[in-house]
Structures are given as structure tokens and as C-alpha cells.
Amino acid sequence: MQYIDMETLKYLLFEVQDTERVLEFPRHEAFDKEAINMLLDSVKDFGDQDLYPIFKEMDENPARYEDGTIVTHPKLGELMRKAAELGLISDTFDEKFGGMQVPYTAHTAMGLILDAANNQAPGYWLLTQGAADLIVHFGSEELQQTYVPNMMAGEWGGTMALTEPQAGSSLSDIKTSATPQEDGSYKIKGHKIFISGGDHQHVDNIVHLLLARIDGAPTGTKGISLFVVPKNRITPDGLVPNDVITAGDFEKMGQKGYCTTHLVFGDKDDCKAWLVGEPHQGLKYMFKMMNGARIDVGRGANAITHAAYHASLKYANERPQGRPIQNAGKKDASQEPVLIINHPDVRRMLLLQKAIAEASTSLIFEAALYHDIEMNSQDPEEKGKYHLLLELLTPIVKTYPSEMGRIAVNNGLQVLGGYGFCSDFILQQYYRDIRIFSIYEGTTGIQSIDLLGRKLTMEQGKAMKLLAGEMKNVIEDAMAIEELRPYGKQLLEKLELNKEVMTYLMNFAMKGDYQRFLSDATIFMEFFGTIIIGWQWLKIAVKAKQSLLTGDNSHKVDFFQSKIHTMKFFYKYEMPRTTGLAEILTDETVLTLPNEEEVFA
Amino acid sequence: MQYIDMETLKYLLFEVQDTERVLEFPRHEAFDKEAINMLLDSVKDFGDQDLYPIFKEMDENPARYEDGTIVTHPKLGELMRKAAELGLISDTFDEKFGGMQVPYTAHTAMGLILDAANNQAPGYWLLTQGAADLIVHFGSEELQQTYVPNMMAGEWGGTMALTEPQAGSSLSDIKTSATPQEDGSYKIKGHKIFISGGDHQHVDNIVHLLLARIDGAPTGTKGISLFVVPKNRITPDGLVPNDVITAGDFEKMGQKGYCTTHLVFGDKDDCKAWLVGEPHQGLKYMFKMMNGARIDVGRGANAITHAAYHASLKYANERPQGRPIQNAGKKDASQEPVLIINHPDVRRMLLLQKAIAEASTSLIFEAALYHDIEMNSQDPEEKGKYHLLLELLTPIVKTYPSEMGRIAVNNGLQVLGGYGFCSDFILQQYYRDIRIFSIYEGTTGIQSIDLLGRKLTMEQGKAMKLLAGEMKNVIEDAMAIEELRPYGKQLLEKLELNKEVMTYLMNFAMKGDYQRFLSDATIFMEFFGTIIIGWQWLKIAVKAKQSLLTGDNSHKVDFFQSKIHTMKFFYKYEMPRTTGLAEILTDETVLTLPNEEEVFA
């Protein structure tokens, strides 16, 4: 099933991004390129056989609240166990936890395939993995032994329980309380909402990694602790309910098969919890995982973008409609209609999707690679470098695939005309599903403030200097190839433009006017993200052109040429938009800061 | 209920657009401004009492196919009769048909209110009106007497039956056949799909205005005729089935309460039809109505944009979350959270919606006004002028509110964060509903080719010269007011930029390379549409500023100032995007024309 192009995925992973470099680290030495590719193929088989076939069903029969629990797709339990057997829940974990010690780059590629096949089902076990990861990193030996094995087996679920009704984007307002007990445990009281995978009928237990405030803790983010709160307590007599009540499931516009629960903890004063790590360090622990979680969100959106692209490409290759415009500007109605892929506007809509989908994947892999190097490197300088690069890229990796992916999918739907709007075709589901990704794990507004207000300024702009260095390496390579020189030049100009914009904006920060500095952060994200994707496309095109020049026959000539063509498309149709965006960003008019004026009158 | 701001609507209708001018024509002399405003208020009451209350229900209980017919919302029949009583089906019709002879501008304002209250229910009677309008304009006296009265009474429905499975955007491929009978009638055979309001339980009969090909007719668009095909034939013994079978209802992502049917005509060779007007003139008749139909689509999208804006504005004024960024770049967690309307990014998202919604309305009213002048004027030159202006504006009036309205609604949803994605909140419905408007009545791609390939070139570019004249009038007014001068100047520069882009593109047409000329038509639409909306905002701001300068107290000072503020917002955040778009349009690289290259490899 063509929801993702495996050839391109592997090309981006191993040819464009140097993932083999990671396989040299001792932790991953069991793997070579071939082993990773085999893993990817087995994941694709799983997607073809098990995930894609129930994708539409999950939308048409949404998760629903029934008798105090959530009823999800009947096959979900089977899938979780199969995912566990394939090693997909424990893939990145240490061997001592039954893991494969797969690098995060490979894990990300696997996740991309899974999400493209079905952007909902894998969430159940990937969140379980994330929850177990927190226990493994920060929890006691006892917590690890108690919870991790069943989670790895797909027998128990796991969640991240952060959001509360009054604390969405603003985690400092978390109110859920934790009261110390004599036995060293805590009692939890509070409401959590929007908890993905928060409850369902297919697991014996659900392990919530929950943020709460220990009685007397400082206000704000510094007083938040992380707890393990199981739905059922483990006792010598077996599992006993732990006063975690499922109060409801949020019905949603998309991702309908992926439940989003409202949980009530401690309504009967009998909800026990165990502290993870030190008190008041909860947000710090959570944020250690946050880069990964945000990359995963970008990956999820990107997966949908690939799937939508391939669905619309297939349609365009099968649907006859209309005729080419003749040179006189007329059409000849006596001719047979052509396939719509021959219409320039349809080609533009397809190429835009391809341009957004493939370079986003490349960027996601680049970030995953940085993560792997940071985690594995023994060289403090290298570690520091990739840490900074990853910090800088993360908000973009989360946001570009989500925001531009939505625009790509919108183009995919449009390719189908009226059928795109109809439930019989899959595009409308992708269109609905992808909408949440600009909200998940910090909205676009939050990511943009993080990018401009924190990442670009940290350590006196060191991350940006490092990133510019990475970009200049690619530009240098491009400059050495005649066909690519104009694009290298263009990227260099955009880097200069970015410097001008940054200088203009930083001026406000230096004057202490942070509100103004950050007021157009979202526009800056659009601007900077486009340049970053331009960098990725140039990187892809350099590789492809080098292969063509050296007669590399690992792929067909068409394959390499289509990459170069899509790069040119991006440089024609997307990069120039940054000119207008730079104008907006350096316009001195202030129109969005709150003041006495009634601007919405 | 605040799904539309009536003060703004009336302001745009009577102060910004000179609708009173139309009321001087003999046809409309029964109306003055006050009478129109009373009509608008009564429509708002209808919306508040009857339409808005069932809006969400219509989504949650979609129209469905059952036992050979379509079951729609139980109240729909009552609503159609009430709409008839209020004169909403016959409003624009001659008095002899029971109509009020309401000008199209006022009709458009009424429709905007109706659609904002409920973008689905009014479609049933507005399409009935459109079908009756075709009969009135082109049908015989007998057809008029037979069908129009029951349609006006809301007892019978009406549809436009154009699309066929193999003929979506390409009407020249229509295959439905019409075989002449001895009694002067025809027998119809064929399938029609995507027929809005094609069948439902609340009317005794449905009158299809159907395009078909008389046996032996020329191929292409020149062989298409227009017919009246009732679901039930009128006989002395009453209504008798006319072999029109409802084969199904298309399930859709949005507008779920507005049925979209598949109809089979003449499966038993017993489907009788009556020719409207002359043979082979069907498409010409249809296109006489098409400007109106396209403006109506723009209006529908614009109505949703208003409703979404007000829903998100209300939320932003009620939801506390987060704190302002202090001058040191920090937040003070001990402060109470502020209402999110105080966050610059939220204000930006709200102002973008307001900027798109209000100027689109102004543009729609401007087009409606042109229509009224063209229809009523006795001066051939004036008639010709407004005909050309309307022809030029129509594709933009259809497209800008649909494409940019979608982006506006997307911002509205984002204002609500996670709740925006949840079915308990209305934003997600607006988000789904508005998606069809870029497809209805000619997709954005089709409209864009119409704009660039036909409208801008017709009569040696005369329409564009006339439009530039209209725009320069506004620029001149702006130049006379110090505060507005920079914006007048900017619009003038954009007009110049447009000239440069047009010159560049026309060059391809003159060389006969129409494929290249039109290949980026959709980008041109984005470019040109933005400038047109810039013109509308300047027009609104000129009026508002003139009122402030003359101490006009017909509205509050805040009201006028908010219009000027929103104009400035548009000129800061939207107009500069045209710089990048012009770069794209004048880039010489050719990347979307079909050739031998496998660009999707």
C-alpha cells in the first residue's frame, strides 16, 4: 500500500542524513544499515497487514465513553501485543528492559511508517513507551520493575497526564495535589483532561505519568512533581482499583479512534501515587522528554502528509477530466479527456505536497540524528554542539510539518475536487486528522515564542551560529555544482535576510520590550521554517546531483532527477514567500499588543 | 446571537458601498434604506430563532439515504414554509411572481445573515430560488405557471443538476441524453451526482434544472440544453412519479445537513422533461446565472468566516490562560492568569479573521452592487462598464472568501487550543463546513484560469482598466487624509506591481504559449485577490476616517477606529505577502508543465 514511499524514506535516512554514523556508537553496534532497512520493511508489513486496513474503521467507529470506560477499536488489544512482539514498544530501550537499543533516528523512521499507515492506533503504544521511558530515566529501580515489563509487553497502557481544565498551554497553573503518606507514597486529587489513550478496554492497567503539586510546594513551574499513578494498584491479591475515574471522552473532529479522556483522580480520597525522582523536578523531567515528544508530533503530521500526497497522486493518475489548453488558448472538446495529472495546477498541488512532505522528513531525521549524537557522544564539545542544534531545531520540527502539512493535505484534498470532500475518499480524513498537530505538545504560538524568545537567543545566539555553519556546508557543496549554484546563492541570501530580520527584532529584546520582540513570533516561525526547509531541499538535491554526476545506480535516474526537480519547485514556489514575510517582520507598526483601544469593536 | 455583527454588515452595505444608489432605480423604488434595514433585522430574528438553534443538530444528525429518499432535519419543511412566508424565496422576483423586487445587494446581505446563522438549511430554499429564477428568465409562460408558484411557496424544492460522474469541472463532457417526443417534451436518460438538495422528505416535488444533450447535438459545450425535470409529473390526477430515482446521498466531511445526492434519470425510460428556452443554449443560460451563483458561494464562505470569528472572539474574551511577558522576558506565575485576548498572538489570529471577514463582505457587496446597476441601468455605457467590472470581480468574489476564509477559520479554531478540535465547540464544524467552498461552482483552479485567462484579457484588458479606475478613486481619497496616505501609496505601488506581473505573464499569451501563461493562475489569484482586498480595506478606512474627521456620530468612535486599525493590520500582515507572490509569478523556471520527465518518481 502506497501511503509512504519506502525508497524515499530510506534515501533520506541513509543517503541524505548520515544515519550510519550513529550505528558506530557502541550502544547501537548490533545494527548495520541492512539490519535497519529490514526492520523498516517489517514495520511496513505490519502497517500494510494490520494498521492501514483498520484506519478508516477507526474514524467511522470512534472511541466512545461507555459505562465508565472507553471502548476503542476491537482489534486494538491484538495490535498492541503484536507491536510488543515486533519490539516496537521497547525498540529504543536498553537490552536489560528487553529493548533492541535501536537509535532514535531508526525509531523515528519506523514511527513515520506506522503513523502514515494509521495515525491513531500506534499512539496507544507509543505513549506507553513514552511513559515507560520516563520511569526508566527518572524512576526508582522498584518503579521500573513494577511497571515497565508489563508496559513493554503491551499488556498495560501508559499516558502523560499534564493538562488540566485551567492549565492548557500554561503548565505553571497545574492544581492537582499530592499529599505525602506515611508509607512514602502520595495521595492524588485532581482533574486531568485531553489525556490521549487515557483508558480503554484492551489493557489490564494504565500507568499515568502525572504532574501534580506536593502540598506546600512553591507556586509556578518550580513546584511541580512527577508521579506514577496506576489505574489499578498492584497488591498481593492482584490489581485493585486506585480511584482513577474515567469521566468522559472528548469527541473530536479527527483522530476519532484515538481516545482523549477526562480523568478524575482521588474523588474518593483513595488514589495512591509514587514519586518519580526528586520532588519539584517534574517539569524538568517532562521537558527532558519533550524534545522527543515534539519531534514525534512533527513526525505524526509529516506521516499524514505523505499518506495524503500518495492518495492524491494515485487519484490524479487515474482520473480523466478536461483537456490541455491549446496554444490558441482554446480546448478541443472532441479530444478524449486527459488524466488530471497533466494539468499544471494539479501538478503544482502535487509537487507542493511532495516538497513539504519529503523535506520535512529530512528535517525530522536530521533532528533525530542530532539527538542520537548528543545521547551517544563521549566528546563534550560534540555533545554540546548537537544539544544546541537540537534545541534550536525542535520547535521547527514540531511546527513546520504540522502547519505546512495541513496546507499540503489541503492541496491533496483539492486534487480530488468534490470527491475530496466525500467520506468515501480518504483525503477528508487526513484533512481532519492533521488539524490537531498544530495544537499538540505546545501550540504553534508557543513553539514560535520558544524558537524566537529562547532558542535563538540562548548562549548569545550560539545555536544559530552552529546552524548557520551546517547550512553553509550545504551551500558550499551546492556552489561546487553548476546546476545547483543559483539555489546555493539563494539560500545564502535568505540566511542574510534572516540575519537582518533577527537584528531588527533583537533590538526590541535589548531595549527590554519583550512583548514587542515576540509579538510576531508566529510569522517569524513561518519565515524561518521556510528557510530551514530550503536548506533541507538543497541538501537533498546536492546528494542527488552528486549521484547523477558519479553515475551512482543505487536508484533510477528519474528518482534522483525528481528530487532535484522538487528542490527547484520549493525554491520557486515557497522560498520567495520569505521576502514578504521579512517585510512583515520588519514593519514598525504595532497592532497586536493589548492597549486601551477597542480594536475588536 | 453573535454569529455576525449587524452594525458592521449595515455599515458595509450602506456607508462603504453606496447601496442607496440602487434604491433609486424604478424596480426597487418601494425600498428605502430603513426598509432594507428592517428586512435585515427580520432575517436576523429568523436566524436567531430558527436557524442557529438547529445548526449543530444538522451536523450531528446528517442527512441520510433511507428507503429511496433522503431524510433531512425534521424541522426543514417548517423552515422552508417560514422562509417563503418571510418572502425569502421570492425576494428578488417580480411582483407578478409574488416577489418583493428586492435588489440583489440586499438579497446578498440577507443571505449572509442566513448563512452565518446556519450554512446548510438556507441552501434548500436558495437553490429552489435559483432554479425558479432560471425558469422565470428563460422558460415559457407555461413552465413558469406550472412550477414557479409552488417553488415560491416552499412547497416544492428545486435543484441545479449539472455534474455527472465523468463531468465535474468539465461540463463539455456531459452525457445525459434528451430524446425529443412527439408531444414536444423530451425523455431524459443519465446520472447526475453532487446534486445539492436533490431529494428530501419535506416537499411534494423537486424541480430539477438539468443540463443534457439532445440526440444529435454538437459535441462540447455548444450541444448542451437546459431542461425542467420534475421528480413528479403534474397530471390531472395529481403528481405522478417521473422516473427520477434517488440512488444515494454522498456522505461528507462537512455541511452534513445539506444533502448531496446521486440521481438517476430515466432508468425505466419514463423520465419526461421540458426544454427551457432554445435548444443547445443550456450552458449560456446557466452561465447567465453563474455570476450570481459564484457570488453566493463567496457569500456562504464569508458567512462562515464571520460566525467563526465571533465564536473565537467570544472564547478569547472569556478564557483565562497564561500571563503577559514582562519586560525582562519572564512571566510572573503568582499573578492571576489573563484572558487570552490579551496575548499578542491571539490578537493577531483574531484580527486576521476580522480583516478577512469584513473586507470580503465589502467586496461581495461591491460585486452585488455592480450586478444591480448592470441589471437596472438604462445607460448602455454604464451597463457595459458594470458588466465588465462584475465579470472581472466574480472569480475573486468566489475565491478569496473561500480560500482565505478557510485560513481565517483555521485561526479561529487555533484560538481555542485543544477545545477547538473538540466537537463540543463549534469551531471544528465551521472548519469542516467551509472546506467545500473552494470546490463549489468551479474550483479555485478553474476560477483562477477564468480570472487570468479570460477576465483580465477580455476586450483588450478593458475590465482591468475600469477596475484600476475604481481603485484609484479610493487611493485619491486616501491621499487626501494624512493618516491614510501611506496606505494609499502602498496600494498604488501594488497596482504598479500587478501591472509588471501582468506584462510578464501576457508575454506568454502573446507568444501563444497559453499553458505557460496560465500555469500559475492560482498563484496569481492569491496575489491579485490580496490587492483587491487591500483596496476594499482602504475604502472602508477612508469612510471611517472621514466620519471621524467630520464628527459623524452614527457609530461610536471605537467602531470607526477599529475599522482603521483592521485596515492597518491588513496592510501590515497581508499586503506584503504579494511581494513574494510577484517573485514567484515572474520566476522563469518552468516546473509544472507536463513533459517526459518523471517528476513524481
Encode pLDDT of A164-207 as tens digits: 999 888 888 999 999 999 999 999 999 999 999 999 999 999 99
Q: Would the pLDDT of A343 be above 80? A: yes
User: What mean pLDDT comes out for the span B275-286?
Assistant: 96
User: What mean pLDDT comes out for the span B360-386?
Assistant: 98
Averaged pLDDT score across all residues of chain A: 97
What pLDDT is recorded for position B334?
Answer: 81
Q: Assess contact for A172 and A221: CB atoms under 8 A.
A: yes
Q: Would the pLDDT of A327 be above 80? A: no
For B330, the closest chain A residue by CA position comes to: A514
The sign one gets for the Cα dihedral B452, B453, B459, B461 is: positive
Tell me which of A253, A456, A506 to substitute to probe the interface with B (most B C-beta atoms closer than 10 Å).
A253
Contacts of A445 in chain B (CB under 8 A): 343, 345-346, 414
Distance (Å) from the alpha carbon of A334 to chain B's nearest alpha carbon: 7
| Element housing B454 (H / E) | none
Which among A350, A414, A522 has CB closest to B600?
Answer: A350
Encode pLDDT of B238-274 as tens digits: 999 999 999 999 999 999 999 999 999 999 999 999 9
Q: Would the pLDDT of B291 be above 80? A: yes
Q: Would the pLDDT of B332 be above 90? A: no
For B255, the closest chain A residue by CA position comes to: A421
Q: Which of A52, A73, A49 is nearest to A61 (CA)?
A: A73
Tell me which of B347, B523, B591 to substitute to probe the interface with A (most A C-beta atoms closer than 10 Å).
B591
Q: Assess contact for A349 and A407: CB atoms under 8 A.
A: no
User: What mean pLDDT comes out for the span B311-318?
Assistant: 98
Encode pLDDT of A108-141 as tens digits: 999 999 999 999 999 999 999 999 999 999 999 9
User: What mean pLDDT comes out for the span A100-115?
Assistant: 98
Tell me which of B169, B325, B426, B443 to substitute to probe the interface with A (most A C-beta atoms closer than 10 Å).
B325
For B348, the closest chain A residue by CA position comes to: A592
Is ipTM beyond 0.90?
A: yes
Q: Would the pLDDT of B61 be above 90? A: yes
Q: Assess contact for B409 and B305: CB atoms under 8 A.
A: yes
Q: Lowest-confidence range among A258-267, A395-404, B159-168, B356-365? A: B159-168
Q: Angle CA(A253)–CA(A255)–CA(A261) in degrees, nearest 5?
A: 90
Which among B327, B423, B518 has CB closest to A251?
Answer: B423
Which among B417, B435, B589 has CB closest to A568?
Answer: B589
What pLDDT is recorded for position B197?
Answer: 97
Which among B166, B449, B577 has CB closest to A577?
Answer: B577
Alpha-carbon distance B359 to B364, whole Å? 9
What pLDDT is recorded for position B69?
Answer: 94
Alpha-carbon distance B478 to B564, whole Å? 12
Which among A321, A329, A579 has CB closest to B169?
Answer: A321
Tell me which of B592, B595, B598 to substitute to probe the interface with A (most A C-beta atoms closer than 10 Å).
B592
Inter-chain contact B333–A583, Cβ cutoff 8 Å?
no
Contacts of B559 in chain A (CB under 8 A): 601
Q: Would the pLDDT of B290 be above 90? A: no
Inter-chain contact B597–A565, Cβ cutoff 8 Å?
yes
Encode pLDDT of A519-543 as tens digits: 999 999 999 999 999 999 999 999 9
Which three three-digit cell numbers place residue A372?
542520537
Q: Assess contact for A15 and A33: CB atoms under 8 A.
A: no
Inter-chain contact B348–A221, Cβ cutoff 8 Å?
no
Q: Would the pLDDT of B161 be above 80? A: yes
Q: Which of A440, A567, A592, A470 is nearest to B340 (CA)?
A: A592
Q: What DSSP state is assigned to residue B404?
A: H
Who contacts B511 (Cβ-Cβ below 8 Å, separation ≥6)? Answer: none
Which among B250, B346, B410 has CB closest to A422?
Answer: B250
Q: Would the pLDDT of A248 be above 90? A: yes
User: What mean pLDDT comes out for the span B418-426?
Assistant: 98
What pLDDT is recorded for position B201?
Answer: 95
For A320, the closest chain B residue by CA position comes to: B166
User: What mean pLDDT comes out for the span B414-432?
Assistant: 98
Q: Angle CA(A20)–CA(A18)–CA(A571) in degrees, nearest 5?
A: 155
Alpha-carbon distance B509 to A328, whole Å? 8
Residue B327, CA atoms < 13 Å, CB-side half-sphere:
4
Which among B173, B345, B591 has CB closest to A445?
Answer: B345
Inter-chain contact A512–B327, Cβ cutoff 8 Å?
yes
Residue A418, CA atoms < 13 Å, CB-side half-sphere:
21
Contacts of A323 in chain B (CB under 8 A): 170
User: What mean pLDDT comes out for the span B24-50?
Assistant: 98
For A556, the closest chain B residue by CA position comes to: B601
Inter-chain contact B354–A600, Cβ cutoff 8 Å?
yes
Encode pLDDT of A44-80 as tens digits: 999 999 999 999 999 999 999 999 999 999 999 999 9
Q: Which of A334, A307, A372 is nearest to A115 (CA)?
A: A307
What pLDDT is recorded for position A226?
Answer: 98
User: What mean pLDDT comes out for the span A472-501?
Assistant: 98
What pLDDT is recorded for position B324?
Answer: 87
For A354, the closest chain B residue by CA position comes to: B600
Contacts of B515 in chain A (CB under 8 A): 324-325, 327, 344
Encode pLDDT of A349-385 as tens digits: 999 999 999 999 999 999 999 999 999 999 999 999 9
Which three three-digit cell numbers place residue A594?
493589548
Who contacts A515 (Cβ-Cβ below 8 Å, separation ≥6)? Answer: A593, B324, B325, B327, B344
Inter-chain contact A584–B598, Cβ cutoff 8 Å?
no
For A358, the closest chain B residue by CA position comes to: B600
Inter-chain contact B599–A562, Cβ cutoff 8 Å?
yes
Q: Assess contact for A521 and A452: CB atoms under 8 A.
A: yes
Confidence class of residue A11 from pLDDT cuts 50, 70 and 90? very high
Plot region of B442 (φ>0 → left; ψ -120 to 50 → alpha; else → beta) = left
Burial A60-93 (b: 16+ CB within 10 A, else e): eebbebeeebbbbbebbbebbbbbbebbbbbbbb
For B167, the closest chain A residue by CA position comes to: A321
Helix (H, G, I), strand (E, B) or coil at B201: coil
Q: Angle CA(A229)–CA(A235)–CA(A241) in degrees, nearest 5?
A: 50
For B194, the closest chain A residue by CA position comes to: A418
Alpha-carbon distance A521 to B11, whole Å? 34
Distance (Å) from the alpha carbon of A471 to chain B's nearest alpha carbon: 22
Inter-chain contact A592–B344, Cβ cutoff 8 Å?
yes
Distance (Å) from the alpha carbon of A140 to chain B's nearest alpha carbon: 31
DSSP calls for A137-167: HHS-HHHHHHHHHHHHTTSEEEEEE--BTTB
Q: In terms of DSSP bridges, do strands B225-230 and B156-161 run parallel, antiparallel, or are they unpaired? A: unpaired
* Axis crossing angle, helix A121-138 with helix A282-316, rounded to the nearest 10: 160
Encode pLDDT of B458-489 as tens digits: 999 999 999 999 999 999 999 999 999 999 99
Averaged pLDDT score across all residues of chain B: 97
Tell me which of A402, A511, A600 to substitute to probe the interface with B (most B C-beta atoms closer than 10 Å).
A600
Alpha-carbon distance A138 to A477, whole Å? 43
Q: Assess contact for B137 and B285: CB atoms under 8 A.
A: yes
Contacts of B435 in chain A (CB under 8 A): 410, 413, 421, 428, 431
Q: How far apart are the first and last CA of chain A?
A: 53
Count Cβ–Cβ pairs < 8 Å, chain A vs chain B.
308
Distance (Å) from the alpha carbon of B399 to chain A's nearest alpha carbon: 13
Strand partners, B8: none
CA dist list (Å): B256 to A239, B74, B385? 45, 14, 40
Query: How many other β-carbons are positioned within 10 Å of the β-carbon of residue B338?
Result: 15
Helix (H, G, I), strand (E, B) or coil at B31: coil
Q: Would the pLDDT of B308 be above 90? A: yes
Confidence class of residue A253 from pLDDT cuts 50, 70 and 90? very high
Encode pLDDT of A275-298 as tens digits: 999 999 999 999 888 889 999 999
What pLDDT is recorded for position A334?
Answer: 82
What pLDDT is recorded for position B331?
Answer: 80
What pLDDT is recorded for position A287?
Answer: 87
